[in-house]
């Protein structure tokens, strides 16, 4: 399949590399050139402009937020230059409202659109172990499923683009809430003279056996937040997406309000380039431990 790829950040570069490994023809575009050249060395074609990446059977995008996608032109201008019947698969976490807007914009131009935000960190992207939550027309998802299978371990199909992004927003909200509660528990233990490493070992082996507490808990325990697999500012973005989604549905998320306060504080301390797990360090800093 002839595939374009727009946005080669921490995750996108690994996904594009796996598409190349699977034998697809991949044309890549990114604002900075270093990741483009790294993929060209692996067989990709460099696009001079984003529209050159939209001339095949499908294009993947993985840009940081709604506004960056608008700035690149994926909400309108670029669609006018896309190949006929192109399917756009957006792997990024964006707002549910914007996902709905994108689906309509593509459909009005005879183009396919699938919102397929992913769960996983860069090492999971490299190992093709991502979980894709794919929202869109069933026939488009079915067409792209063989491609999804070479970049992820599981695809969760949903019948609308905005539902996929709401699913991902809710998932990231839960992860952020667990990072906060883990940091609070560790700070409580340190303040009381109890070894949090023992606590982490016991709970990760019995009560909290999932990857979030085991892996992120280790980061919070060891206080190692760099290099960031998922930047703290992206965590703040996703918490704000959860808050906005709740507001749109006429409800509130009290924990999200606390998370926003702590993420804002972390940014004010200059932590914006740390991993989003550094939210677990906020309670410790406030406790003086």
The catalytic residues are: 168
Contact 186, 280 (CB under 8 A): yes
| DSSP assignments along 169-207, one per residue | HHHHHHHHHHHHHHHHHHHHHHHTT--HHHHHHHHHHTT
Contact 89, 66 (CB under 8 A): no
Write out the two tokens for 60: 């993947």
DSSP-assigned beta bridge partners for residue 5: 28, 60
Q: CA 193, CA 104: separation in Å to the nearest integer?
A: 57
Question: Phi and psi dihedrals of 189, rounded to 5?
Answer: -65, -45
Q: CA 87, CA 164: separation in Å to the nearest integer?
A: 16
Angstrom distances, CA of residue 197 to CA of 49, 93, 157, 201, 217: 50, 33, 39, 6, 9
Q: Residue 11: which of 168, 183, 244, 174 has the closest Cα? A: 168
Question: Cβ neighbours of residue 210 under 8 Å, at least 6 residues apart?
Answer: none
Question: Phi and psi dihedrals of 61, rounded to 5?
Answer: -130, 145
For helices 232-248 and 161-191, give the axis angle rounded to 10 degrees.
120
Decide the pairing of beta strands 25-29 and 2-6: parallel
């Amino acid at each position: 399949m002839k595939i374009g790829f727009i946005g080669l950040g921490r995750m996108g570069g690994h996904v594009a590399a796996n598409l190349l490994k699977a034998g697809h023809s991949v044309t890549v575009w990114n604002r900075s050139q270093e990741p483009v050249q790294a993929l060209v060395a692996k067989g990709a074609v460099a696009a001079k402009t984003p529209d050159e990446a939209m001339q095949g059977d499908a294009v993947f995008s993985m840009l940081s937020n709604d506004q960056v996608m608008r700035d690149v032109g994926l909400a309108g201008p670029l669609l006018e230059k896309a190949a006929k019947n192109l399917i756009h698969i957006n792997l990024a976490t964006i707002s549910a409202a914007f996902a709905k807007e994108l689906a309509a914009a593509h459909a009005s131009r005879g183009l396919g659109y699938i919102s397929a935000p992913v769960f996983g960190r860069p090492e999971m992207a490299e190992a093709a172990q991502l979980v894709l939550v794919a929202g869109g027309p069933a026939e488009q998802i079915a067409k792209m499923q063989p491609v999804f299978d070479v970049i992820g371990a599981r695809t969760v199909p949903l019948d609308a683009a905005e539902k996929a992004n709401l699913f991902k927003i809710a998932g990231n909200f839960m992860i952020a809430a667990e990072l906060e509660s883990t940091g609070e528990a560790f700070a409580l233990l340190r303040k009381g003279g109890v070894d949090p490493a023992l606590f982490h070992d016991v709970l990760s082996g019995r009560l909290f056996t999932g990857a979030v507490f085991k892996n992120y808990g280790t980061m919070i325990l060891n206080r190692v937040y760099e290099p960031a697999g998922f930047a703290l500012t992206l965590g703040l973005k996703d918490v704000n997406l959860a808050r906005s989604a709740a507001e749109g549905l006429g409800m509130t998320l009290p924990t999200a309000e606390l998370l926003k306060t702590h993420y804002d504080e972390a940014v004010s301390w200059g932590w914006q380039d740390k991993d989003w797990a550094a939210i677990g360090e906020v309670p410790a800093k406030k406790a003086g431990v």
